[in-house]
Every structure is written in structure tokens, then in C-alpha cells.
Amino acid sequence: MTTTVPTGLAEMTEVGAYAAWSGSSSPDHREAMGISSLRRGAALGTTLAGFPSFMVNRVGTGEPLGTDDITAFIGFFREQGVPQAAFMVAPPLRPDDWQTICKEHDLTAGPTFVKLGAEVKSALDAADGLAGLDNGLHVGRVGPEHAREYAEVMINTFGLAKPGMLEVAEACVGAPGWEQYAVWQSDRIIAVGSVWFNGDCADMFGGATLPDHRQRGAQSALITARLRAARAAGCRWAVAETGAEAPGEHNPSLHNLQRQGFQTMYERTTWLWEPER
């Protein structure tokens, strides 16, 4: 099985999902949380200045970035009052003078992520994650009546519990282009995951399981549920990203995705920007 997701499409699907996630909030909440975006060609910058993390204050691009692009996005981050931001540039899309550009703009190397991709049909043929779900658990789509509980599981599990963040996650449920899924034990949500549709490509977004319910098959089941949703939406490919493993480390999310038919496309360094102190 080969992964043929075009790099530019994979990258723009990822950053597009982040922009759509925060952008689902009401206009008043977007203003209060410093949610905004800037597009330059095939590059997109998105901010959520109310939460000081590069994960939600970032640039993604489907083509090589030049120094003028970096300058424009840094200006955008300054205007939004972002305390830290990231330039996520896939190795195939880095210009030859990337190291020089980073030095000129004081960009420093941060965490490394693994970009994974899959052909939806092939991934569904490769494994059925629902088959390994523990007895007593079931998967379903999240509706408006469960939006708050979904948001609480996602936000608290990822350590994003800051003022206004629950409302950001809650607003995404049922928003255009999105579907959210959960694993329930009886009437309690114990794991969640979202999928965002970007034409031919879907993004596996925000998979999280409560700590005391891990290793029960929840995330594998949610991957299959979201792949089925991507197939129903007409997507040919699906992408995901997770932290790279350092020697001696084990990232369960990475291995869950690989068991479900995702293949590593490349490892991508996060290039961090911070305003002068």
C-alpha cells in the first residue's frame, strides 16, 4: 500500500483544520480570543492569541515560503499579540536557503512531528479499529446535545483548560466541514476525535482519551469511524500528525495510526517565533 497524498494538500488540510476549528466560534468570541487568519498564496496563518501555544498560532503552507512571506506573517502575529507562533514547513517545501531565512527572522527549531497519510479506501481495507473496542463501549457521532461534554474531554485531556477554550471546542460541533465522534461508556464520553473535510483530503483532528480509559481500543475505533466518514464525504486521502519519537520513547498515537493503515510521509521540524522580550 502506498501513500500518494500530495504534500501541499496534506499541509493545507492540516492548517486549514486548525483555522476552521477556532474559526467556528461566534464573532464576539473570536474577537475576545484573538482568533484571526491571514492567507498569502498557498500559505495560511491562524491565531488564537487567547491561548499561548504555537499549536494554535501557526503558519502552514502548500508551497515554499520566502523571506517576504515570513516577514508578513510575523507582522500578523505581532498585530494579534501572539506570544509564540510556529512555522510548519514540510521538508519538501523548504527553499534551499531555509536555514538562512530562519536565522534572519530569529526562528528556532522546536518539536518534531510525524506527518502521516493514507488512502482512505486502503486504510479501511487494512484494519477495522471497531473490532478491538472493549465490551461496554460504543462509538457514535457527537450531536449538539453532547457538544459541551465532547469539548470538556478534548480540552481537559490536551491540557488546554484556559478561559474561553471550552467555548471554542464546543462551537466546532456541527460546524460546516466538520464531524465529531466519541466513544461512550454507558452515557459518559470517554474519548473523542474529529474529522475535517477539505475536498479530496480529510484531517484526523483532536483525538483524545481520558487517562483512566486508555488501552481499551477507543482511539483505533475513532480512527475507523472517521475514515468511514471521510469515505462517505468523498475524500480520497486522510492525513494526521503526531509527535515524533525520540530514542527510547513510545508514542501510542503514532502506532495507533500506523496500525490503521497510515504511513509516515516525513518528519517535520516546528520553527518557532517569539517577539523580542
Q: What is the pLDDT of residues 219-236, one digit of tens each?
A: 999 999 999 999 999 999
For residue 3, the model assigns a pLDDT of 57
Strand arrangement of the beta sheet that strand 85-88 belongs to = 35-40, 43-48, 58-61, 85-88, 263-273, 108-119, 237-243, 201-209, 188-198, 178-185, 137-141
- Three-class secondary structure of residue 1 per DSSP: coil
At 1, the pLDDT band (50, 70, 90 cuts) reads: very low
Mean pLDDT of the chain: 96
Q: What is the mean pLDDT of residues 152-164?
A: 96
**pTM attached to this predicted model:** 0.95
Query: What is the percentage of the chain residues whose pLDDT exceeds 70?
Result: 99
Q: What is the pLDDT of residues 4-21, one digit of tens each?
A: 899 999 999 999 999 999
For residue 4, the model assigns a pLDDT of 81
Annotate 235-264 with three-state secondary structure.
CCEEEEEEECCCCCCCCHHHHHHHHCCCEE
Q: What is the pLDDT of residues 78-128, one digit of tens each?
A: 999 999 999 999 999 999 999 999 999 999 999 999 999 999 999 999 999
Q: What is the mean pLDDT of residues 183-210?
A: 97
Q: Name the CATH topology of 117-266.
A: Aminopeptidase (3.40.630)
Answer with the residue of higher pLDDT: 2 or 97.
97
User: Residue holding cell 475513532?
Assistant: 222
At 42, the pLDDT band (50, 70, 90 cuts) reads: very high
Query: Domains of the chain: which residue ranges?
Result: 7-114+268-273, 117-266
Tell me the backbone φ, ψ of residue 147, rounded to 5 degrees. -60, -40
How far apart CA 188 and CA 226 sit, in angstroms, is: 20
